[in-house]
């Protein structure tokens, strides 16, 4: 794959989502309630973004390997 821009974009989504997940966990460990709505939303949003980025990376890699 010559142009790796798309893969770098997916890696960026993964990294930002992981940082968001770490931030939400840090906020939770520093005294916020476990059932705080913001914490749950941030956690689920980050987990969803990580899942989407990994899925797209796998699909793109399989597509380009099959194309060769």
Each residue's pLDDT tens digit, 49-60: 778 878 887 887
The 3-state DSSP class for residue 41 equals: helix
Higher pLDDT, 68 or 17: 17
pLDDT of residue 36: 64
pLDDT of residue 40: 74
pLDDT digits 0-9 by tens, 2-13:
567 777 777 787
Q: What pTM did the predictor assign?
A: 0.56
pLDDT of residue 7: 73
CB 46 within 8 A of CB 18: yes
- In our burial notation (b when 16+ CB lie closer than 10 A, e otherwise), range 2-32 reads eeeeeeeebeebbeebeebbeebeeebeeee
């Amino acid at each position: 794959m010559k142009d790796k821009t798309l893969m770098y974009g997916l890696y960026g989504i993964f990294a930002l989502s992981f940082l968001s997940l770490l931030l939400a966990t840090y906020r939770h460990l520093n005294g916020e309630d476990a059932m705080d709505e913001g914490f749950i939303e941030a956690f689920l949003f980050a987990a969803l973004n990580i899942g989407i980025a990994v899925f797209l990376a796998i699909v793109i890699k399989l597509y380009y390997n099959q194309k060769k």
